[in-house]
Amino acid sequence: MVDVILGLQWGDEGKGKIVDYFAKGYDVVARFQGGPNAGHTLFVDGKKMVLHQIPSGIFHENKINLIGNGVVLDPVTLKKECESVAALGVDYKKNLFISQRAHLILPTHRAIDKASETSKGNEKIGSTLKGISPAYMDKTGRNGLRVGDLLDKSFTTQYIRLRLKHQKLLDNFSFSEDISTWEDEFFEGLEFLRELQIVNGEYFINDQMRNGKKILAEGAQGSMLDVDFGTFPFVTSSSTISAGVCTGLGIAPQKINEVYGVTKAYCTRVGSGPFPTELKDETGEQIRQTGNEFGSTTGRPRRCGWIDLVALKFACMINGVTQLIMTKADVLDALQSLQVCDEYIVNGKRQTEVPFQMLRMDIEPVYRKFVGWQTDITGINDYEQLPGKMKEYINYINSSLGVPVKYISNGPGSNQIIVAL
Ligand code: GDP
Ligand code: IMO
Ligand code: MG
């Protein structure tokens, strides 16, 4: 069976830490979508590591880590990442496997991403500029190159052909930056990638399942960034939800068992786009500083706001979430009072559904107020010891979403996690 850990908000919910925590109970950890736009933080022997493409199970000895077909892979970033995990003693040549169907991110994809964002001016998506959208466009447009193509004699010809197509697009954008160093790095990255374990991912993972191995699928980004169900067009270009596990790894839907949904105790978003519960005041700034809410991939300040139960309920529905994991609860420790968004007022009318678009309408959150617990919870490891006011907050979320908060993360450390009763 396959369990899934994925983000329910706009990314950066703490998935890396949670996957690392759960990985010990699994044989395989697999990424099914996204690419180096992800930044998953975890602590290895007290040292901070940020993973972009390698699954967050890589620091566990003898666990298989698979980059699935649904991922778009940048060989340049992958090489750097492999070198940095190797410096911490990881034998990536043994534990890392890559699907031959994963699409490659080319230097020109990064250039097109940059040119496209620049051309959008004030309406830019706030992309991480890692080439994600152009790479997925080439996948659905049936132009892209895949990891398996690398092993074919015609690869260079195919590359040149696609590069010429991209050049026409870049010319249309009047993009004139010299990307030759990106290309040099890319070809070095390809040489590196060729030496890794490139597999037929769908057979590989189904064989693992047949042999009774336990699989953990690791989501990137979050449900509100999903290309279909997120705040389009301010989304990423992949299926970030549990359904993406099937297409991104080649497994059947009935194989999916637990869906662990990760949510912060509040909410953040990096990049542009609608964010109904955003706090543009001192409280927002306090959360940003206390939670160190700066992007793991780009270093940009994250926008902060109250937890949004309308969006969370929607995310639980489309993912079939079976258990919730609440992270960064400790960030709210000092607050005197907290708010929870229960409903939206959309163009003057109350509603509990997420609108199909949130740009050309006026959305006002309806809040319920909670008294803050004003207690340092970072050292607590027993649910019973948590402050009563915090339990009230959690119980309200449980009953409102109809899905239980089973784990509470109370600090970035790998052992700072409390199992709820
Ligand atoms: P991901 O993209 O979902 O893996 O999340 P990121 O790694 O981008 O961002 C989460 C940040 O919060 C990282 O800096 C983590 O070290 C940190 N973090 C994770 N869980 C907790 C927690 O419970 N409390 C605090 N204070 N920090 C946490
Ligand atoms: P993890 O896995 C937070 C956001 C970008 C931008 C939008 C599109 O660490 O949670 P893209 O580069 O995909 O074209 O950007 O999506 N974004 C993320 N925000 N966490 C992420 O990943 C993100 N990956 C992309 O900021 O708004
Ligand atoms: Mg992140």
Q: Which residues are catalytic?
A: 12, 40
pLDDT above 90 (res 297): no
pLDDT above 90 (res 182): yes
Ligand of minimum distance to the alpha carbon of 327: 1
Q: Which amino acid is at 391?
A: K
CB 7 within 8 A of CB 222: yes
Distance 188 CA to ligand 3 centre (A): 26
The three-state DSSP-derived secondary structure of 71-98 is EEECHHHHHHHHHHHHCCCCCHHHHEEE
pLDDT above 90 (res 28): yes
| Percent residues over pLDDT 90 in the chain | 97
pLDDT above 90 (res 181): yes
Closest residue to atom 27 of ligand 2, CA basis: 271
pLDDT value at position 394?
Answer: 97
Residues 57-94 pLDDT 10s: 999 999 999 999 999 999 999 999 999 999 999 999 99
Distance 169 CA to ligand 3 centre (A): 30
Q: Which amino acid is at 265?
A: A
Is 222 a pocket residue for ligand 1 (Cβ < 6 Å)? no
Which of 249, 150, 248, 238 lies closest to 198 in space, CA to CA? 150
Give Cβ neighbours of residue 378 (< 8 Å, ≥ 6 apart): 330, 333, 410, 411, 416
Distance 95 CA to ligand 3 centre (A): 23
Distance 173 CA to ligand 1 centre (A): 37
4-8, 44-48, 162-166, 242-246: range with lowest mean pLDDT:
44-48
Residues 89-145 pLDDT 10s: 999 999 999 999 999 999 999 999 999 999 999 999 999 999 999 999 999 999 999
Q: Identify the band that residue 421 occupies on the pLDDT scale cut at 50, 70 and 90.
A: confident
Burial letters 225-256, b for 16+ CB under 10 A, else e = bbbebbbbebbbbbbbbbbbbbebbbbeeeeb
Is 55 a pocket residue for ligand 1 (Cβ < 6 Å)? no
Closest residue to atom 3 of ligand 2, CA basis: 11
The closest-lying atom of ligand 2 relative to the alpha carbon of residue 272 is: 27
**In the block, residue with structure tokens 């509603």:** 351
pLDDT value at position 298?
Answer: 85
pLDDT value at position 217?
Answer: 98
Is 328 a pocket residue for ligand 1 (Cβ < 6 Å)? yes
CB 113 within 8 A of CB 170: no
Q: Identify the band that residue 296 occupies on the pLDDT scale cut at 50, 70 and 90.
A: confident
- E strands present in 234-297: 256-264, 267-269
Is 274 a pocket residue for ligand 1 (Cβ < 6 Å)? no
pLDDT value at position 23?
Answer: 97
